[in-house]
Chains A and B, each alone.
Chain A
Amino acid sequence: MTVSALKAVSTGRNGVGAFILQCKKMDIHYCDWAGSSKGMNGFIKSILPKFAAANPQIEFTVSPRPTKHPLLVGHYINGGQKAVCVRNMEPLQILKKAELLRDASGEKLKKVSKPVHSINQSVRGVWSPYHGNGMAV
């Protein structure tokens, strides 16, 4: 019986090897009657076919929400949701919002104090006062 080595559990490194889009679904709500949905109706008619065809990994659902402002809701693989009200916006402005939702991670918004973040361990290891030769003061 051969001895097999323990397999290391792989950690997710999205983008290394393959990239998985975090946004899995996008709900698009509009109103047939309200004037604030005018831009949204134009977006659905003219821009959405191209946008949906360019992003086949996202599921799009288009449904009316009568007498309410138009809305874009992104659903993410971490279970999060992000909703953007796009009332009175032009179709191209709505496209910007759709791209924002598509590119979002689904995480809660938080302040980024350190712009560079890595999950790789440091090559130098964790500093310890009990190891090493010490430093002459």
Chain B
Amino acid sequence: MRRLPRISSSASALAPSVSTSSSSSASLRTATCIAPASQTSQLSATRSQAWQSKLHAQRRCLSTTAPRRALETVSDTTDDSYLLDEDNDRTRKPEIKTDLVYPRGIKAVPRDADITDPDYKPAESGELLEEVGGLANWWDDPSHWGSSNRYLGFGPREKVTDPAMLEVLARRAVIEALAIKQFADLRAHKLATFTPAVAKEQELLITEIRLVPGEDGAAVLKRQSDYTRVWAGVKKAGVVISEESEKTVSESSQLDITEARELVKRWNPRWKQALLKDLAVKFYAAKRIQRLTGHVIPDAKLVGSISVGSLVAHLTKPPKAKKLTEELEVRGQLPALPNVTLYPRRVTPVDKQKMVGRWKLITAELEKRELPVIGTGGYGKSVETKWADGN
């Protein structure tokens, strides 16, 4: 899909054709309104002259193309002064703050009258003329889009698939969600959704914090001081990211898989029984999980996930097999039978010949006769068949 640049109003001078068309419609309205008035009013000669000159300028703007300037043979200057109207004061040149790479230093072909070369002969038809330049595909080049326009995904580029790592990250997400809920304000919402991975020390600190079911079964942190510790880490990461304007999004987790597996073994499985009663905590946890793991939890599953364990179970559940053979391989019952053969793709006639060891012979014989091994080699059906059918 073709991308359209987001240019601020101050950068409207970048698109001369657009600004001209808008001004032309405005001037069209102005011209039609003013014209009869100028005819009927008793204006002085000097004033009517001024009106005439103004009208002339407005009528010039009725054209859908920009007013043609005297073309320079080669303008290799890098400033973009050509983009401004001549009438405008140069001191009013708008300050354009953009990292878009827009066309600069356009070279124009000299006109016939300006060419001094005696051997020059104008072309009589455009058939053999070479087409040079043009800005039609300017925005198709990714390098012309600044770094601020580069797509940054909400989650990591690749989804986390390891069950142990998913379990660690889900637990971390719930702990952070509890802390965010404790110190909830408008900023917390942003932090809950946009804060990326924290430092490894902070991550290890979070993994050591104990998540337990409270008196009513709802998930709580074991100690009250843990909320402050987690919140401090999340807040710190949030400040860092706002300062760096999200240019550097670190990896989802600093831990590796072996560390995650050890952590999962070490934890008391009771933490999974903790209930997610508070909807805000559940929402924050889902957002943090999306940010950390790349897994988007559907609303229907989120409503059904009443405990931390069910949330983890949903995450760690292996994805549904796309092919029947993949599912049969996972089940393992059918491939284990000695009289059953499974093929992952269609068994072609060539495959059948290969199974009985005849394909090499067929290939050799066909090549010896210079006949195509596969396909018809461009030869169609026999003509005689058509005759026999009476067609």
Contact = CB atoms under 8 A, between A and B. Distances in A.
A49 B334 contact: yes
B324 interface: yes
B340 A62 contact: yes
Given A30-B324, A32-B324, A45-B328, A61 B334 contact: no
Interface stretch (B118-126, B135-143, B218-226, B341-349): B341-349
Contact of B334 (A30, A44, A55, A64): A44
B334 A48 contact: yes
A58 B325 contact: no
Interface in B311-363: 322-325, 327-328, 331, 333-334, 337-347
A50 to B, nearest CB: 9
A56 B328 CA distance: 19
* A32, A63, A66 — most chain B CB neighbours (10 Å): A63
A61 B335 CA distance: 11
B343 A56 contact: no
Nearest to B342: A62
Contacts of A52: 334, 337, 339-340
B340 A41 contact: no
Contacts, number: 58
B323 A32 contact: yes
Nearest to A63: B343
A65 B346 contact: yes
Interface string B170-189: 00000000000000000000
A59 interface: yes
Interface residues of B, number: 20
Interface size band for A: 20 to 34
- Secondary structure of the B contact surface, majority rule: loop
A57 B340 CA distance: 11
Interface in B227-273: none
B338 A56 contact: yes
- Secondary structure of the A contact surface, majority rule: mixed
B388 to A, nearest CB: 28
A116 interface: no
A49 B346 contact: no
A132 B328 CA distance: 71
Contact of A58 (B327, B334, B339, B342): B339
A62 B346 contact: no
Nearest to A56: B339
Contacts of A32: 322-324
Given A32-B324, A44-B328, A45-B331, A62 B337 contact: no
B343 A49 contact: no
Contact of B327 (A45, A60, A64, A66): A45
Contacts of B324: 30, 32, 41, 44-45, 64
Given A49-B333, A62-B341, 16 more contacts: A44-B324, A44-B328, A44-B334, A45-B327, A49-B334, A49-B337, A52-B337, A53-B337, A55-B339, A56-B339, A59-B341, A60-B339, A62-B325, A63-B346, A64-B323, A65-B346
Interface of B: 322-325, 327-328, 331, 333-334, 337-347
23 contacts: A32-B323, A44-B324, A44-B334, A45-B324, A49-B333, A49-B337, A52-B337, A52-B339, A52-B340, A53-B337, A57-B339, A61-B340, A61-B343, A62-B334, A62-B340, A62-B341, A62-B343, A63-B342, A63-B343, A63-B347, A64-B343, A64-B344, A64-B346
